[in-house]
Amino acid sequence: MEHLSDAVIRRLPGYYRHLRELEIRGVKQVSSRELGLRMGQTASLVRQDISGLGESGRQGYGYDVSQLKQTIGNLLGLEHTHTMIILGAGSIGTAVARYPGFAREGFQTLALFDEDVSRVSAQNMGLRIEPMENLGRFLQENRVDIAVIAVPASAAQGCAEKVTALGVRAVWNFAPVDLKLKEGTAVVNVHLSDSLLVLAYQMEQAAMREDQR
Amino acid sequence: MEHLSDAVIRRLPGYYRHLRELEIRGVKQVSSRELGLRMGQTASLVRQDISGLGESGRQGYGYDVSQLKQTIGNLLGLEHTHTMIILGAGSIGTAVARYPGFAREGFQTLALFDEDVSRVSAQNMGLRIEPMENLGRFLQENRVDIAVIAVPASAAQGCAEKVTALGVRAVWNFAPVDLKLKEGTAVVNVHLSDSLLVLAYQMEQAAMREDQR
């Protein structure tokens, strides 16, 4: 398979999500046009993306829903179970721990860690909270694939360095900072403020277009 | 100013964030190289991005931090205050309501709406929660710029259609669905599951590279 561009990689989860919905509804085949409509993209881009994965549809039939879902699921590593810990049991950490749907894809949260184990919001919800000082021992005793960074910005770099030094290979970062981590660490950022500012930009542009009319 | 590409628009909040940090630390000027290091990008891309905004640095000086921050802030519409409501007072809606930093940029949450106003997690935190049936009246009485969609996937499209029909022009969507809304509506998605799957893809690729060694 050819090397996939970042843009294609970002679209893979969307394809996977739509194919799963179709499969659940009992749909066996789907055209590039319909998949494009669902994704808000052209049929031509869909064909290009999927052909880049080494899959092809059939004229007049389209793609086999289950097979394409399986191909993309394998690319995303979804045949394995992934274990996660969450650093920071505040509102973001708790929301991630409670988010439905991760477990369905095989992402299992083992524990949350916080400086203050009495944090009410997470405790109330029956989640396992450990003091941050237990982190080292926990990582020796458990295989942890992913560390979720949900601590304040000022603590994020230090926390991420600590878990990667202890062998965690993937970091899902919710703190509004750009982490610098050792090579070979997979990092994906969810910068909520950045996302809100992109929305603000779109609003500003829409308002300018109105003014010009 | 030329039309900005989606890739540049996605980088604007990062530039803004780094420039704000520099400004707070009292730094007056910054080179494309240093801004690039902070953003994890080449100096050349930084110069290209910023020149596309109509700003230029000076040889041997770089960019004026405050001026560049102002330019990007204006593009993002940050000279205005934006009002928000949050639909869904579960863990995601509550996390958004409590997220620090939005208010600092002038994004003000007026209220949360939920079918069940007794939801403990949000009530506990002193947030204003209204029953969903009050939404229409609230939107008549208050100017609301942004609706945050934090309801379950099955309710998201209906909620988004309702608020946009009532005049809200921007939707920040946390439900794992691709909303179809009327033209002129600004929409930005935060698909947490998709983000996690991109991380899983990166891990899978890293593991394959290891195996090939």
Q: Domains in chain A, start-ordered, CATH in brackets?
A: 6-75 (1.10.10.10), 82-194 (3.40.50.720)
Q: Which chain A residues are Cβ-neighbours of B206 within 8 angstroms? A: 169, 184, 186
Q: Which of A99, A126, A193, A20 is nearest to B88 (CA)?
A: A99
- Give the nearest chain A residue to B90 (CA atoms): A95
Residue A131 has pLDDT above 90, yes or no: yes
Question: What is the gyration radius of the CA atoms in chain B, in angstroms?
Answer: 20
- CB-side neighbour CA atoms (13 Å) of B64: 6
State the smallest CA–CA distance between residue B201 and chain A in angstroms: 4
Alpha-carbon distance A193 to B82, whole Å? 13
Nearest to A77 among B178, B184, B200 (CB): B200
Tell me whether residues A121 and B120 touch, CB distance under 8 A: no
**Which DSSP string do the residues of chain B spell out, in sequence order?**
-PPPPHHHHHHHHHHHHHHHHHHHTT--EE-HHHHHHHHTS-HHHHHHHHHHTT---BTTTBEEHHHHHHHHHHHTTTTS-EEEEEE--SHHHHHHHH-TTTGGGTEEEEEEEES-TT-HHHHTTT--EEEGGGHHHHHHHS---EEEE-S-HHHHHHHHHHHHHTT--EEEE-SSS-----TT-EEEE--HHHHHHHHHHHHHHHHHHHHH-
To the nearest whole angstrom, how far is the Cα of A74 from the nearest Cα of chain B?
Answer: 9
**Distance (Å, whole) CA A175 – CA B175:** 21
CB contact under 8 A, B191 and A92: no
CB contact under 8 A, B203 and A96: no
* Amino acid found at A163: V
Q: Residue A1: which pLDDT band, with cuts at 50, 70 and 90?
A: low
pLDDT reported for residue A120: 58
Record the pTM: 0.83
- Residues B168-193 have a mean pLDDT of 92
CB neighbour burial string for A91-107, b if at least 16 within 10 angstroms, e if fewer: bbbbbbbbbeebeebeb
A199 contacts B188? CB cut-off 8 A: yes
Q: What percent of chain B has pLDDT over 70?
A: 95
Please state the rounded mean pLDDT for residues A77-85. 91
Sign of the four-CA dihedral B59, B62, B64, B70: positive
B145 chain-A contacts, CB cut-off 8 A? 203
Q: State both tokens at A138.
A: 């926990």
A196/B102 touch (CB, cutoff 8 Å), yes or no: yes
pLDDT of residue B108: 92
Interface mutation target, options A108, A121, A185, A201, chain B, most CBs of B under 10 Å = A201
Contacts of B81 (CB under 8 A, 6+ apart): B106, B107, B108
Stretch B175-200: mean pLDDT = 90
Over range B47-68, report the average pLDDT: 90
Who among A75, A190, A195 is closest to B204 (CB)? Answer: A75
Which residue type sits at B102? F
Residue contact A198–B188, C-beta within 8 A? yes
* pLDDT at site A206: 84
Query: Do the Cβ atoms of B94 and A95 come within 8 Å?
Result: yes
Q: Which residues in chain B are closer than 8 Å to A195, comparing Cβ atoms?
A: 13, 172, 188, 190
Q: Which of B175, B143, B68 is nearest to A101 (CA)?
A: B175
Query: Which of A11-20, A113-122, A164-173, B4-13 shows the lowest per-residue confidence on average (mean pLDDT)?
Result: A113-122
Who's near B209: CB < 8 A, 6+ residues apart? none
CB contact under 8 A, B101 and A193: yes
- Nearest-by-CA chain A residue for B192: A190
Q: Please provide the average confidence, as pLDDT, over all residues in chain B.
A: 89
Q: Which residues contact A143 (CB under 8 A, 6 or more apart)?
A: A83
Q: Which of A78, A125, A199 to mutate to test the interface with B (most CBs of B within 10 A)?
A: A199
Residue A79 pLDDT class (50, 70, 90 cuts): confident
B143-182 burial string, b = 16+ CB within 10 Å, else e?
A: ebbbbbbbbeeebbbebbbbbbeeebbbbbbbbbbbbebe
Residue-by-residue DSSP string for B50-77: HHHTT---BTTTBEEHHHHHHHHHHHTT
Cβ of A13 within 8 Å of Cβ of B198? The answer is yes
Rounded to 5 degrees, φ, ψ at A94 are: -65, -40
